[in-house]
Homo-oligomer: A and B are copies of this chain.
Amino acid sequence: MDIEIRSGCPINLTMEVLGDRWSLVIIRDIMFGNRRHFRELLNRSEEGIASNILAARLKRLMSYGLISKLDDPSHSQKAIYSLTEASIQLVPMFAMIGAWGRRHLPVSEDLSIRAELLEEGGQPLWDEFMADLRRIHIEDPIGGANGTVKSPVLARLTAAFLEVRAKMDAPAS
């Protein structure tokens, strides 16, 4: 749960915190899929994460201040997981990671449309998206989780994704 601090190099420290197969994938689901509950992160995970691994990662990310946990008023046992300012500032990094992956790895068309739009939008779109995320994760996490408060940028990204999906499912014309 603690950083060993092999060295004070920014790249090394970032890899000590985020350098595993799951942490960034979980943050991605919270950020781009607005999955705010344990079960959403578990069952709707594209990659099929195990429940013990998810629990361990959520705990770890909380200890680093990358996500926060809040009781859901609608269900005393439910918890709402939210991004923090630190993880919201990962947006440009996600854009770069997505851009690189799209160019050099065997990505699928539907799952990479959001990365494409995020890359094309550049800094102005990233700023807009980060402002949205602050509203639905920091200012009103409960409204953000239950859908009362929405992110326009996220809505656009999701719409584009669903459109590509629909085209792929349709019979070839």
- Residues of A that sit less than 8 Å from B by CB: 3, 5-17, 19-22, 24-25, 28, 46-48, 86, 89-90, 92-108, 110-112, 115
Q: Taking chain A's interface residues, is the majority helix, strand, or loop, or is none over half, making it mixed?
A: helix
Select one of B17, B92, B105 contacting A105, CB under 8 A: B17
Kindly list chain B residues whose C-beta atoms are within 8 Å of the C-beta of A89.
Answer: 100, 103-104
Contact for A8 among B22, B100, B106, CB less than 8 A? B106
Instruction: Tell me whether A25 and B17 are in contact (CB under 8 A).
Output: no
List, in ascending order, chain B residues with CB within 8 A of A24's CB. 11, 15, 19
**Whole-angstrom distance from the CB of A85 to the nearest CB of chain B?**
9
Out of B9, B22, B46, B92, which one reaches A7, CB within 8 Å?
B46
- Measured between beta carbons, the chain B residues less than 8 angstroms from A107 are 8-10, 13
On whether the beta carbons of A6 and B47 are closer than 8 Å, the reply is yes
- A11:B86 contact, CB within 8 angstroms: no
Please give, as numbers and ranges, the residues of chain B lying within 8 Å of A10 by CB-CB distance. 97-102, 105, 107, 111-112, 115
Complex CA distance for A15 and B110, rounded to whole angstroms: 18
What are the residues of chain B within 8 A of A5 when measuring CB–CB? 106
